Amino acid sequence: MAAQRTSAPSTAAPALPILGGKKSSYRERVADALRAALIAGELRPGEVYSAPTLAARFGVSATPVREAMLDLAKEGLVDTVPNKGFRVTAVSEKQLDEYTHIRALIEIPTVVALARTADPVSLEALRPAAREIVQAAVSADLIAYVEADTRFHLGLLALAGNAHLVEVVGDLRKRSRLYGLTALAEAGRLLASAEEHLELLDALTARDEKAVHEVMTRHIGHVRGLWAAR
């Protein structure tokens, strides 16, 4: 969903993202965009947001926003506040460290193995998403950045053929917080991280396992490094 972040909300609902290559309901796609805003730190922990306020901010109607936030409440990402709205749940530094550790244990060896097994055509099919990440970094659109980043990484992991693995990593990504993205985007430093996705694809298509391992290790390290600063 292309959210209205620096101008007045549009009266027409904008195009919403379809993550992971799956067809989603409008409610699911609103939830995807709200998750992205939460991960990027545009929705802050402890703050209470009403459905009408979020609807105006994202240029959509209040009903799908309210329904999507109820979905996020079931996932533990927000708490309902009667007669007021939804409060974003806080995530501790220890929790973030644990999520990142698990992701590294799962994602790095899985993606390195893809250098041996992945079909080159399937890898190239991910290049448009990698380019979207770069474009979002250039335009400092953090929600679009997180959306495209999710689509790229879950799509890449899906090439390993283990749907449960993709589900686990997807859940860990939802629970992460990347509060440092705003400062990086404002300083023009997000582009280097974005271009790592293209670098990773090049290493995969070259069947260079050492390079894939190096890029993935550096890239996941940003979660608790460059992307984490509050």
SS3 183: helix
Half-sphere exposure (Cβ direction) of 161: Cα atoms closer than 13 Å: 5
pLDDT at position 9 is: 33
- pTM (two decimals): 0.79
Q: Which of 35, 122, 132 is nearest to 86 (CA)?
A: 35
Half-sphere exposure (Cβ direction) of 6: Cα atoms closer than 13 Å: 5
Q: How far apart are CA 150 and CA 110, in angstroms?
A: 16
Say if CB 73 and CB 86 are below 8 A apart: yes
Per-run averaged pLDDT (10 residues), the chain, 230 residues = 36 37 68 86 88 89 92 90 91 88 96 97 96 93 89 96 96 81 77 94 98 95 66
pLDDT at position 98 is: 92
Tokens encoding 150: 């999710």
What domains does the chain contain, in order, with CATH numbers?
A: 24-88 (1.10.10.10), 93-223 (1.20.120.530)
pLDDT at position 190 is: 85
pLDDT at position 93 is: 86
DSSP letter (8 states) at residue 77: S
Locate the DSSP E strands across 52-167: 78-81, 85-88
pLDDT at position 115 is: 98
